[in-house]
Amino acid sequence: MTRTTRPGAAPWWRSHGVRLRLTLWYVAAMMVVLGVYVFGVYTFVSRNVSDALDDRLRADFYWAAGTVDEGPDGLIMPFPQIDLLLEEEPPWVQVWSADGRELLLSNDEARRREIPQSQSLAALGEDMIVSVPTGGVPVRVLSRRSYIVDRPVTIQVARSEATMREELRELSLIFMFGLPVAVVIAGVGGYTLARRALAPIEQMTERARTITAERLSDRLPVANPEDEMGRLASVFNETLGRLEGSFDQMRHFTADVSHELRTPLTAIRSVGEVGLRGRRNEASYRSIIGSMLEEVDRLAHLVDRLLALSRAGMQHASFSLDTVDLAALAEDVVSHLGVLSEEKGQSLTIEKTSAPHARADRLLLRQALINLVDNAIKFTPTAGRVRLRLSETPSLAVVDVIDTGPGVPAEAQDHIFDRFYRSDGNDAVGTGLGLSLARGGVEAIGGRLTLERSGPEGSTFRITIPKHPGVAIRDSSTETPRVPPRVQAAEPKVSSRS
């Protein structure tokens, strides 16, 4: 039966859990380490056993050289001494003439186990140990020159490699049966270690499954904040905190928008129902229609602000950058909002220390400046002052909007540019979009909007715009330049009320 694999399916080892993959990697690494260890031990032991056999051959040679003597009829070997020398394997000894042509002496073991190559080895006349193959186990032969009395001879001693090979075979059997057991133990140990190491991740996974949009206040368990798992859990908890804040902001946004949209719609419906209850004269209908149009204007203004805020947040929006006369732009804004300041008995003036020009999108900059001035008029009491102060540096144009209002509370200064944010006690004033729209528009064209000063004597908001293309404005906290993009956008609608 052929096993088929779906196209694009992951290999089987990737489809299993991290615990199994870690165990397999651990077992593979242990097999490599154990394999290298076994090879090293076997090489070391085989070399030692071989060297031990060579040492025994040399001992046999010295024994033979000291034992063989010259008798009346030739060379003799006092065999009774053999039992005193060795207990296991009897020595194999032959004595040849110096040229290796004549066999002078051989003991019983040498006659019993003849080695055909022994004469050729003796004829070589070299001091060497050679492993000679036989019908069974190879025999290791040592041939070396020596003297018996004053007669030069070549003495040969030999030993079978059977004992050495038996020791190596036993070692191989130990490795053969011990290595799988070691691998199994390593696999069980690796699986246990992987399970314990990944236990915090399993706990985080189980906890993460229970976290929903309604339970964003829950956090993942952090066993040890100093290790990798603890830092991972801490990062997830920080992310959950940001998500919780975003969801809260979204809920507030939805509630605020629903409230702001419901109010004009309810007013339009109520005025319309009242107008349809009976016959009225033309003046009454005009008054009703006028009230309805005011609510429509308010509703359209809120929708326009939401759309402008959405455009300002688009990363790929394009704007038309031209040289803008800020003095003329300030006069346009003052003329546009002068009626609002007159209704509250306020003075709305322009102070010019210079006539700066800036590289900006005039429509966006105009909308941002209108939002700032409109906001200043709202929060400045009757008979107060609102000023637009123009200044410049060699590379930047600056517009300050200064009011004499009560100032921004210290706890609200970090949030006044957030969408739909309104400080306590001011919930009835505005929608909380003006400053957010203003900053979004200014930053979209490469400028910067900041709250420079705020206190009981009033507040100062500052717009800083590059005067030339490519001029970077460095943020005071990050020192990151903001380079204006080049594109085209439509002018947002502007209403006299916000």
pLDDT for 394-422, tens place per residue? 889 999 999 998 888 888 777 788 766 66
pLDDT for residue 322: 85
Instruction: Specify whether 164 is located in the same domain as 233.
Output: no
Q: Is 452 part of a structural domain of the chain?
A: yes
- Choose between 26 and 316: higher pLDDT: 26
Q: Is 278 part of a structural domain of the chain?
A: yes
0.85 exceeded by pTM: no
Residue type, 428: A
Could you give the percent of the chain with pLDDT greater than 70? 78
Q: How confident is the model at residue 72 (pLDDT cuts 50, 70, 90)?
A: low
Query: How many folded domains does the chain comprise?
Result: 3
Q: Is 487 part of a structural domain of the chain?
A: no
- Choose between 28 and 202: higher pLDDT: 28
Are 114 and 131 a contacting pair, CB within 8 Å?
no
pLDDT for residue 347: 92
pLDDT for residue 420: 62
pLDDT for residue 419: 66
For residues 256 and 252, give the distance between their C-alpha atoms in angstroms, rounded to a whole number.
6
Q: How confident is the model at residue 21 (pLDDT cuts 50, 70, 90)?
A: confident
pLDDT for residue 281: 81
Q: Is 436 part of a structural domain of the chain?
A: yes
- Of 37-41, 50-54, 191-195, where does mean pLDDT reach its minimum? 191-195
Instruction: Specify whether 364 is located in the same domain as 300.
Output: no
Q: Average of pLDDT values for 315-333?
A: 78
Domain boundary among 247, 281, 308: 308
DSSP result, 285-300: HHHHHHHHHHHHHHHH
For residues 21 and 187, give the distance between their C-alpha atoms in angstroms, rounded to a whole number.
11
The residue among 498, 372, 394 whose CA lies nearest residue 442 is: 372
Instruction: Specify whether 33 is located in the same domain as 153.
Output: yes
For residues 366 and 369, give the distance between their C-alpha atoms in angstroms, rounded to a whole number.
5
Q: Average of pLDDT values for 377-387?
A: 91
H helices of 68-112, in order, are 82-85, 108-112
Q: How far from chain centre, in Å, is Cα 494?
A: 46
Are 96 and 156 a contacting pair, CB within 8 Å?
yes
Q: How confident is the model at residue 474 (pLDDT cuts 50, 70, 90)?
A: low
Q: Average of pLDDT values for 339-344?
A: 84
H helices of 102-143, in order, are 108-112, 118-124
pLDDT for residue 465: 92
Instruction: Specify whether 147 is located in the same domain as 291.
Output: no
Using alpha carbons, list the distances in angstroms from residue 487 to 319, 359, 367, 396, 467: 4, 13, 17, 21, 18
Q: How confident is the model at residue 481 (pLDDT cuts 50, 70, 90)?
A: very low
| Domain encompassing residue 77 | 14-210
Could you give the percent of the chain with pLDDT greater than 90? 12
Are 33 and 209 a contacting pair, CB within 8 Å?
no
pLDDT for residue 256: 61
Domain boundary among 274, 308, 342: 308
DSSP 129: E
Instruction: Specify whether 296 is located in the same domain as 324.
Output: no
Helix (H, G, I), strand (E, B) or coil at 466: strand
DSSP 29: H
Q: Is the pLDDT of residue 86 over 70?
A: no
The residue among 68, 63, 127, 118 whose CA lies nearest residue 90 is: 63
Instruction: Specify whether 256 is located in the same domain as 362.
Output: no
Instruction: Specify whether 269 is located in the same domain as 206.
Output: no
Instruction: Specify whether 300 is located in the same domain as 321.
Output: no
Q: What is the CATH number of the domain that holds 266?
A: 1.10.287.130
Q: Which of 162-166, 224-228, 466-470 has the highest mean pLDDT?
A: 162-166
Q: What are 160's strand-pairing partners?
A: 139
pLDDT for residue 237: 82
Instruction: Specify whether 303 is located in the same domain as 358.
Output: no
Q: Is the pLDDT of residue 476 over 60?
A: no
Q: Is 327 part of a structural domain of the chain?
A: yes
Q: Is 30 part of a structural domain of the chain?
A: yes
Q: Average of pLDDT values for 286-300?
A: 79
Q: Average of pLDDT values for 276-305?
A: 77
Instruction: Specify whether 450 is located in the same domain as 476.
Output: yes
- Choose between 404 and 216: higher pLDDT: 404
pLDDT for residue 131: 87
- Of 59-63, 430-434, 438-442, where does mean pLDDT reach its minimum? 430-434
Q: Is 5 part of a structural domain of the chain?
A: no
Helix axes 282-312, 228-275, angle to 10 degrees: 160
Q: Is 2 part of a structural domain of the chain?
A: no
pLDDT for residue 326: 92
- Choose between 12 and 53: higher pLDDT: 53
Q: Which of 248-252, 446-450, 486-490 has the highest mean pLDDT?
A: 446-450
Q: What is the CATH number of the domain that holds 350?
A: 3.30.565.10
Domain boundary among 160, 178, 210: 210
Q: What is the mean pLDDT of the chain?
A: 77
Q: Is the pLDDT of residue 315 over 60?
A: no
The residue among 23, 14, 31 whose CA lies nearest residue 195 is: 23
Using alpha carbons, list the distances in angstroms from residue 324 to 59, 207, 335, 356, 363: 108, 56, 17, 9, 10
For residues 329 and 334, give the distance between their C-alpha atoms in angstroms, rounded to a whole number.
9
Instruction: Specify whether 324 is located in the same domain as 237.
Output: no
Using alpha carbons, list the distances in angstroms from residue 235 to 64, 218, 464: 82, 14, 36
What confidence tens digit (pLDDT) does each residue in 256-281 have? Answer: 667 667 767 777 777 777 778 777 78
Is residue 292 left, alpha or beta, with left meaning phi > 0 and alpha meaning psi from -120 to 50?
A: alpha
The residue among 416, 301, 420, 311 whose CA lies nearest residue 361 is: 311
Instruction: Specify whether 461 is located in the same domain as 397.
Output: yes
pLDDT for residue 450: 92
